[in-house]
Structure 1
Amino acid sequence: MSAIPACPRCAMEHTYPDGELFVCADCGHEWPQHATENTEPAHVVRDCNGNALADGDSVVVIKDLKVKGSSIPLKQGTLIRNIRLVADDAEHIEGHSDKIRDLVLKTCFLRKA
């Protein structure tokens, strides 16, 4: 008899097989029984709410931020369009607002739009 693994997301052991998937009864996460090697990228960039970000997404600033090299602060609610992820850095993104170009922002101050 094969052992059913614990959920990779919440680490609870209340999982069961359903067709070709394992399902977690606690969080509802589903994953394939015959998973290939690492199916998720090495680092996932997430916003302040835990949503995954990708190149080209739009984000909103959640609090006023002082910007180095500029006298104009980045106000809460400012939309940053067409972001770029920084290679091998899950805490920063690159983008620009309407007034300030070439920003590098921490993801803890952003939410997905």
Structure 2
Amino acid sequence: MPTAPACPQCTLENTYADGANFVCADCGFEWPMAGEGGEDAGVTVRDSNGNALANGDTVVVIKDLKVKGSSIPLKQGTVIRNIRLVEDDAEHIEGNSDKIKGLVLKTIYLRKA
């Protein structure tokens, strides 16, 4: 059982563990137990070379890809700007190319630009 730290919002020490969160009994603030990493503790999205990806990054397609619902394929070297990470999924990102909007791509076909 982890020892409950002081509340980061009101700094009082009347806190307790509730599931995967700590809860302050005085102000009602809740925060995750895995808070040392800052971001979501389990999912790290990586490109084909092993580089970590984050929201807003730019990636490049490393292989020609057929796009469902479109007659235009994504060619090798196509740049995808301002990507969005899919929540709780380390294998997919969302983004837009210049010609095709609303893409969901597998990270194994991408490299960080």
Question: Kindly, what percent of the aligned residue pairs are identical?
Answer: 77
Q: Secondary structure at the match of 2:100?
A: coil
Gaps (5+ residues) in structure 2? 1-32
Deviations 1:34-57 (A, max 9, x none): xx9552731000000000000000
Which residue in 1 is equivalent to 2:91? 91
Q: Rg bigger for which structure? A: 2
Which residue in 2 is equivalent to 1:72? 72
Q: Secondary structure at the match of 1:60?
A: strand
Which residue in 1 is equivalent to 2:60? 60
CA RMSD of aligned residues (A): 1.5
* TM score, norm. by length of structure 1: 0.66
- Aligned counterparts, 1:1-80, within 5 A: 37=34, 39=37, 41-80=41-80
4+ residue segments displaced more than 6 Å? none
Q: Distance in 2 between matches of 1:57 and 1:106?
A: 15
Aligned residues: 78
* TM score, norm. by length of structure 2: 0.66
Q: Secondary structure at the match of 2:82?
A: strand
Q: Distance in 2 between matches of 1:82 and 1:103?
A: 12
Which residue in 2 is equivalent to 1:109? 109
